[in-house]
A and B are shown apart, each in its own frame.
Chain A
């Protein structure tokens, strides 16, 4: 009896979920913001940022083109050209801001949604579509642009990023690494192990969590009882929450974090507080688990309209500029459409290519069996 009532009392006294964790409620007081949703520039004492009009226009261009690429891919999936697509709609600022903060020698370890980061690393957008079309599992050389292959297993890449960063320290280089992951991944053991290794070895890695509020159908409250950026303090390194729909704040905070890491101060956790405007992937139906009023509230914080408002208010871009970006976006759309439709299916012997770096008797034998089997059909047709 006593035990029961104590338990009940405890439950009653337990603190509720902090307001800033509830999906859709927006900014917590500690959120770093440099550009308001209305497009007004504000200052943050810890993250000063000076930008030229050219830089602001370039960021705008990035945001628009990345969104266009994403929209095109979503359409291509609907038309049956892609098997699946993981849209980044709404997360453009988090990706472009952090991506543009990187130096050429820095290295990014993405999930499967970092199309905007890939864009900033100069990876051909068509390369990103191979996996979703089903012609390869990645296929680009990660070392060419320092952009690793997409990783689908949640959080696994945070350890690869940390190991890579450990290697940077051993080399005595001043590069840094960004590991991308989502709010759902913060629950994974690998992410927590990555935090431990990075902290213990003081590795130059920035953990960039895009908290887009939903891990498929599960809200962030199913992953954590404290704001995600505060996780870092338990591992002994700084955590910052940034407005993930504010490209300037994402740029400033990530630039600071990368410099912090590369100068021997160890890892940083950035929580980009943002929102996944679309579905988790094209196979998902978000209307089953979240209300439209929440999505509408986030629409008011759109990363592109706020930068556009800023450019217009300050007279930093004219109609010709906006029209030019629009035209470029149409060209990109066309290139992506045509590129995907003309993407050849690989030769089936791809199955056997690259399983091992060195010869492997079983793979060689099965390849020979397959080739002979396939040839028997060709022969049959001839007869």
Chain B
């Protein structure tokens, strides 16, 4: 039984179900109460669950993150909203030095089941600090799980699983896809770290996550017209990575292209390309290529289209991979 929902609504429903199922689950963040969040992801939740469980916090990101850790130590299960990607940096110490490490530091005595929700990425014409893709910082830090859905169905079950996880989860929401609709059914039995073959193909594997999955699907559809049969894999989880699915795909197609919005240099693509090269070397017909942002601050929105990978840049990489 599937409902057709936007990603935003699917996330809202997931939060609602999590609040219903566990009285220890709390939402915290700026403007998440009466306003329902600047993207309305928490719309109506404070009205139904009260100010005690859907908490409008002071405007202090480190404070939100640090007090969420304290609440988790007291037995609560906080779901924190960071209003925009570029505002998370004031909370960086609390996330990477405290949240990520407390389980290990306590030799397993302390669990911090905290979900940090963050809209991320560009493509909506926003001002500075509202379009960043900082997944590599968090994925680089052991102790955190980092996941990002690309569609409404995944948004729903992945958020519910993130909240249910006993580990801290950085839950990145592709903000430019918030209004994309899709069928939302139940996949709660899927493990949170599983990648998904979105489109099977034979000539090359496009690996993407979050907002870039749709771009890669469009590129694969366009390439089909040229007689090229591309496989598209949605990574879903950035740590842990479902390498088994990636390896199997790349060994079969002989070519891998990683696509993300974040700068290519030292990004997720660098890690994926290196590992795939190590593991699939004798199966590769071409080096694993990367398509992503440039090594520059996220640009003003009037030129962001030149910064962000689009269908043409992906197809250009496909041409290069197939030319070997």
B215 interfacial contact with A, CB 8 Å: no
Inter-chain contact A354/B58, CB cutoff 8 Å:
no
Asked if A196 and B103 make an inter-chain contact with CB atoms under 8 angstroms apart, the answer reads no
Interchain Cβ contacts under 8 Å between A and B, 12 examples: A139-B106, A143-B110, A149-B102, A153-B93, A153-B97, A167-B71, A170-B74, A189-B62, A193-B62, A197-B63, A197-B67, A356-B143
Q: Is B241 in contact with chain A by the CB < 8 A criterion?
A: yes
- The reply to whether the CB of B101 lies closer than 8 angstroms to some CB of chain A is yes
Complex contacts, B108 vs chain A, CB 8 Å: 353-354, 357
Contact bitstring B227-269, A, C-beta under 8 A = 1, else 0: 0000000000001111100000000000000000000000000
Question: A363 on the interface (CB 8 Å rule)?
Answer: yes
Chain B contact-residue range equals 35 or more
A163: Cβ under 8 A from any B Cβ = yes
Cross-interface CB contact of B63 among A149, A159, A165, A361, cutoff 8 Å:
A159
In the complex, whether B165 has a CB less than 8 A from a CB of chain A is: yes
Residue of A nearest to B193 (CB): A361
Whether the pair B52, A170 counts as a contact (CB closer than 8 A) is yes
B302 close to chain A: CB less than 8 A: no
A193 and B63 in contact (CB under 8 A), knowing A137-B104, A149-B105, A167-B75?
yes
Q: Closest Cβ of chain B: how far from A199's Cβ, in Å?
A: 9
Q: Are A136 and B107 in contact (CB under 8 A)?
A: yes
Restricting to B124-160, which residues have a CB under 8 Å from any CB of A?
A: 142-143, 145
Most buried by A among B67, B71, B102, B166: B67
Query: Whole-angstrom distance between the alpha carbons of A160 and B65 in the complex?
Result: 9
User: Using an 8 Å CB-CB cutoff, how does the interface string of A134-149 with B read, 1 for contact, 0 for none?
Assistant: 0011111111000011
Main SS of the interface on chain A? Answer: helix
Q: How far is the CA of A141 from the CA of B73 in the complex (A)?
A: 12
Supply 20 further A-B pairs (C-beta < 8 A) apart from A163-B72, A196-B63. Answer: A139-B106, A142-B73, A156-B66, A158-B66, A159-B62, A160-B66, A162-B67, A163-B69, A163-B70, A164-B74, A168-B74, A190-B63, A193-B63, A194-B63, A354-B107, A355-B103, A356-B143, A360-B239, A360-B240, A362-B241
Does the CB pair B143–A166 fall under 8 Å?
no
A361 and B66 in contact, given A153-B98, A160-B73, A196-B60 (Cβ under 8 angstroms): no
A171 to B70, CA, bound (A): 14
* Chain A residues near B98 (CB-CB < 8 A): 151, 153, 156, 160
A367 to chain B, nearest CB (A): 12
A199's nearest neighbour on chain B, judged by CB, is: B58
Instruction: Tell me how far the C-beta of A294 lies from the nearest C-beta in chain B, rounded to whole angstroms.
Output: 33
Q: Are A200 and B71 in contact (CB under 8 A)?
A: no
B167 at the interface (CB under 8 A from A): yes
Q: Which of B51-69 touch A at CB < 8 Å?
A: 52, 57-58, 60, 62-63, 65-69
Query: Given the complex, which residues of B lie within 8 Å of A194, measured CB to CB?
Result: 63, 66-67
Residues of A within 8 A of B105 (CB): 136-139, 149
Chain A contacts of B142 at CB under 8 A? 355, 363
Contact check, A357 vs B111: say whether CB atoms are below 8 A apart.
Answer: yes
Contacts of B165 in A (CB 8 A): 358
How many angstroms between the C-alpha atoms of A353 and B304 in the bound complex? 43
Residues of B within 8 A of A142 (CB): 73, 106, 109-110
The answer to whether the Cβ of B94 comes within 8 Å of any Cβ in the partner chain is yes
CB distance from A165 to the nearest CB of B (A): 7
B76 at the interface (CB under 8 A from A): yes
Asked if A304 CB lies within 8 Å of chain B CBs, one says no
Which chain B residues lie closer than 8 Å to A143 at the CB level? 109-110
The answer for the CA separation of A354 and B100 in the assembled complex, in Å, is 11
Q: What is the chain B residue whose CB lies nearest that of A359?
A: B240
The answer to whether A161 has its CB under 8 Å from any CB of chain B is: yes
Within 8 A of B (CB), among A312-328: none
User: Which A residues are in CB contact (< 8 Å) with B200?
Assistant: none
User: A340-383 toward B: CB 8 Å interface, digit per residue (1/0)?
Assistant: 00000000000001111110111100000000000000000000
Inside 8 A of A355's CB, which chain B residues have their CB? Answer: 103-104, 142-143
Bound form: Cα–Cα A141–B167 in Å:
17
Rounded to whole angstroms, the CA-CA distance of A140 and B109 in the bound complex is: 8
Per-residue CB proximity of B156-179 to A under 8 Å, as 1/0? 000000000111000000000000
* Interchain CA distance A149-B241 in the complex, whole Å: 31
- How far, in angstroms, from A189 to B101 measured CA to CA in the complex? 21
- Residues of chain A within 8 A (CB-CB) of B101 are 137
State which residues 22-77 of B face A: CB under 8 Å.
Answer: 52, 57-58, 60, 62-63, 65-76
Q: How far is the CA of A142 from the CA of B74 in the complex (A)?
A: 11
Complex contacts, B66 vs chain A, CB 8 Å = 156, 158-160, 162-163, 190, 193-194
* 1/0 contact string of A193-205 vs chain B (CB within 8 Å): 1101100100000
Q: Does B90 contact A (CB under 8 A)?
A: yes
Query: B95: shortest Cβ distance to chain A, in Å?
Result: 11
